[in-house]
Structure 1
Amino acid sequence: MSYRYLVEQVCGYFGLVFWSLQLAPQAFKTYQRGTSTGVSVWTMLIWTFAGVFMGVYNIGLGIAIGLWVQPQIFTFISCICVFQEFHYQHRWSKLKTLCGFVVSCLFVGGVETGFIFAFKKAQQMNDQGGIRFFGIIPVIFVVGGFLPQYYEIFRERRVIVFGEQVDSLDLANYIAIACLDVGILALYYIFEWYQKKISVRSESEESQIDQVSTRSSALTEKVSSSDNHKHGAAFQEEMKTL
């Protein structure tokens, strides 16, 4: 159990560092270029809510603290990217952008809090469908969030991320994050398989112990019954003698 806890914590903090910060280079690059051209605002908006549902699911399950914090940072940076679009492309003032950003953060925080209570209620009622709903939705949102970005890429006929010249450090950053994301995903399925294998083995051992215990109890009852029968027969013989 302690080994599983350690693995969960390690993977959680790796996810906190790499997965939650994967949009940070994009937000910085947009700020540096002074334009969000080529970045789909719909992708960032969908990912904002993906982070909300992921936060609900992770907090509801009570898993590693790192996995509680991870969706919050991801949602926060997604919100930054959304309002960069309003600031640079729709010419919102800095004050208006900041106010909109703060209100949006409070809104998604309230939505997440409400959904956490809903998740806990589903757990109390043992509503497996409701619990799975909160686990499936973020996956759909994360994957679906790529679609508007792909549309933006095909519309522009190019990937406008790095500007006219590709900076090697930026490229290395994106590639590293992508590889580490894949690594975390692979570790998730590997350790899920490992934990299921341990669980099956544990259940098998418990079943064997129960069978042995049942046989032992049956044997004890049989011996006890046999002894009682013998004592009863002896008592009857003594009564006949008398």
Structure 2
Amino acid sequence: MQPNKTVENALAAVGAILWTGQAFPQIYKSYRMKSTKGISPQMMIIWASSSLFFMTYAVTRRLSIPGIIQVHFSFVVFSTSWIQCLYYSKDFPLKKALIYGSVWTAVCVAFEVGSIFGLWAAQSHGTEIPMSVYGYISSVLTVIGLIPQYYEIYRLKEVLGLSYSFIFTDIVGALFYIISLMFRPKLDISAIVIYVLTASMMVIIIILALILNPRAAKRRRLEGSTSITESTTPPAIKEREASHPTNPIVEEKVRYHSDGSDSESEPESGPSTPTGMDAHHEVPILEYSGLETGHEVLRKGYSVEVAKNV
């Protein structure tokens, strides 16, 4: 394509507007839900670092004004989302989270200002390698930043927390930026790499959401129906099922032996009695012994009486 500064700025302006607007749904969703579950704070801080390197690169490379404004706004957005993660997910007190955010922002501003003057000084001496390094570092950090988010998706088995408006707007804005770079006198490889990577990895998140989220919803429905069934089962039946075997033959055998009506083994106190009483019942045995004792007394008395008569 023929270089055209006007078209480049116009397309970049559309991309900047989209990327600027993408932030509000994500921040608002976290604020409304009072939760950042499913959002990786590591991703947000790494993306803020990526924006830091890229906004330094954009200023020193003198990219389009809308692009420079947008990348600075992205830094603010990602830093704000990181502070929300500290407050909602990491249980930081609000004051502590704001202090962390303020210190982080001050360090980044000092880093950007010092880097811009340093890169311009290197450029004036005829070397642009450090400038290109900043661009590639930004691209690498963009990829690395999504790894913790992918792990969060793997851990939860679904895509949570992220605003779909944020994702779609990010992809469309990246496409406008990519097209705008085609109208530059010289194609900027570092810039196009970061835009392509951002769009591609966001597309992967959408694919994961289409695959995992329906499965997660089905899993929750099954778990809900199981919990309802368990809650409606009477406690007596639960206790019976837990304490008795399910096999009716085994259950009947256990009940049959438990009442002492049939036992092939001899009791500890001796053999079973002729009366069929439990051998552990000592009272009948004592009574029987008492009868025998009385019988002996009667027999001796009878013998004495016979002797007298004789």
Q: TM-score, normalised by structure 2?
A: 0.55
Distance in 2, Cα, partners of 1:34 & 1:28: 10
**Residue equivalent to 1:120:** 120
Query: Residues 65-214 of structure 1: matches in 2 within 5 Å?
Result: 65-161=65-161, 171=164, 173-174=165-166, 176-188=168-180, 190-192=182-184, 195=185
Max Rg structure: 2
Distance in 2, Cα, partners of 1:80 & 1:190: 32
Deviation per CA, 1:25-82, whole angstroms, max 9, x where unpaired? 2221111111111101111011001111111111112222212211111000111111
Query: Residues 209-228 of structure 1: matches in 2 within 5 Å?
Result: none
**Residue equivalent to 1:206:** none
Q: What 5-or-longer segments of structure 2 have no aligned partner? A: 188-310
Preserved CA contact (<8 Å) 1:8 1:63? no
**Residue equivalent to 2:231:** none
Structure with the larger helix share = 1
Distance in 2, Cα, partners of 1:196 & 1:51: 22
Aligned residue for 1:139, secondary structure, equals helix
Distance in 2, Cα, partners of 1:161 & 1:100: 22
Identity %: 24
Distance in 2, Cα, partners of 1:175 & 1:41: 17
Q: Which runs of 4+ in 1 moved over 4 A?
A: none
Preserved CA contact (<8 Å) 1:21 1:74? no
**Residue equivalent to 2:26:** 26
**Residue equivalent to 1:54:** 54
Preserved CA contact (<8 Å) 2:86 2:92? yes
**One-letter amino acid of the counterpart of residue 13, structure 1:** A
Aligned residue for 1:19, secondary structure, equals helix
Q: What 5-or-longer segments of structure 1 have no aligned partner? A: 163-169, 198-242
Alpha-carbon distance, 1:175 to partner? 5.6
**Residue equivalent to 2:36:** 36
Aligned residue for 1:145, secondary structure, equals helix
Preserved CA contact (<8 Å) 1:119 1:134? no
Q: TM-score, normalised by structure 1?
A: 0.69
**One-letter amino acid of the counterpart of residue 9, structure 1:** N
Distance in 2, Cα, partners of 1:44 & 1:65: 24
Distance in 1, Cα, partners of 2:168 & 2:84: 24
Count, aligned residues: 186
